[in-house]
């Protein structure tokens, strides 16, 4: 699905009838983010008492640049990486490329909506691992080689801005149109924004 959407976008972007013309001078700022990644918050069983996973620290970093359509509207492409996680002999690396439309409702508040292309790389050393499963245990197989998983998410966010510093809460919805597979991930981050003229 996400590949077809990408091809449609590329076809429109390269067609003569596409009304939007990119003006590179409108990329005026760069932002650098750091925060925590809250994967499937409240949706994964954490212990035998049926408690679900809560807030935790899973660090991620990102970088973005804002394309100013006008004083209130921006298009913001962003690259990010969730720092490698290891659990039960399996390592995970998550990379994402995302684009938001941002609306500055006030000088201190931005509302954001967009989509992310997620690339999850998982690898293991092979073998088996025994984990709790309710009141019993169950044996799970550990992958012997690396595997990539690709997902496209639907995103919503709110950003609180104070000069060059901002705080953002972002929601990523996986499989938004499939009720049985739908899941939610959040990120909470702190950003520092600089002028591209200062940076270069």
pLDDT recorded at residue 157 = 98
The DSSP line for the chain is: -HHHHHHHHHHHHHSTT------GGGEEEEEEEEEEEETTTTTSB-STT-PBP-----EEEEEEEEEESSSSEEEEEEEEEEEEEEETTEEEEEEEEEEEEEEEEETTEEEEEEEEEEEEEEEE--SEEEEEETTEEEEEEPPSS-EEEEEEEEEEEEEEEETTEEEEEEEEEESTT-TTT-EEEEEEEEEEEEEHHHH-
- Note down pLDDT in tens along the chain; length 200 residues: 554 554 454 454 444 444 456 788 889 999 999 999 998 765 554 444 444 445 578 999 999 999 999 989 999 999 999 999 887 677 899 999 999 999 999 999 999 999 999 999 988 766 666 666 666 666 666 666 778 999 999 999 999 999 999 999 999 999 999 988 899 999 999 999 999 988 87
pLDDT recorded at residue 133 = 60
């Amino acid at each position: 699905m996400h590949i077809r959407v990408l091809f449609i976008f590329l076809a429109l972007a390269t067609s003569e009838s596409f009304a939007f013309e990119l003006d590179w001078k409108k990329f005026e700022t760069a932002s650098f983010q750091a925060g925590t990644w809250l994967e499937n918050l409240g949706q994964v069983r954490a212990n035998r008492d049926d408690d679900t996973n809560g807030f935790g620290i899973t660090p991620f970093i990102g970088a973005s640049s804002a394309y100013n359509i006008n004083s209130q509207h921006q298009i913001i492409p962003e690259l990010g990486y969730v720092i490698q996680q290891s659990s039960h002999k399996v390592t995970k690396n998550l990379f994402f490329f995302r684009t938001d439309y941002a609306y500055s409702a006030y000088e201190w508040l931005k509302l954001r909506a967009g989509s992310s292309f997620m690339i999850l790389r998982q690898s293991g050393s092979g073998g088996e691992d025994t984990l709790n499963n309710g009141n019993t245990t169950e044996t799970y197989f550990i992958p012997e080689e690396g595997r990539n998983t690709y997902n496209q998410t639907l995103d919503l966010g709110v950003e609180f801005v104070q000069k060059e510093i901002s705080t953002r809460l972002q929601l990523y919805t996986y499989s938004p149109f499939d009720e049985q597979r739908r899941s939610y991930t959040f990120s909470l981050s702190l950003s520092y924004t600089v002028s591209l003229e200062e940076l270069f």
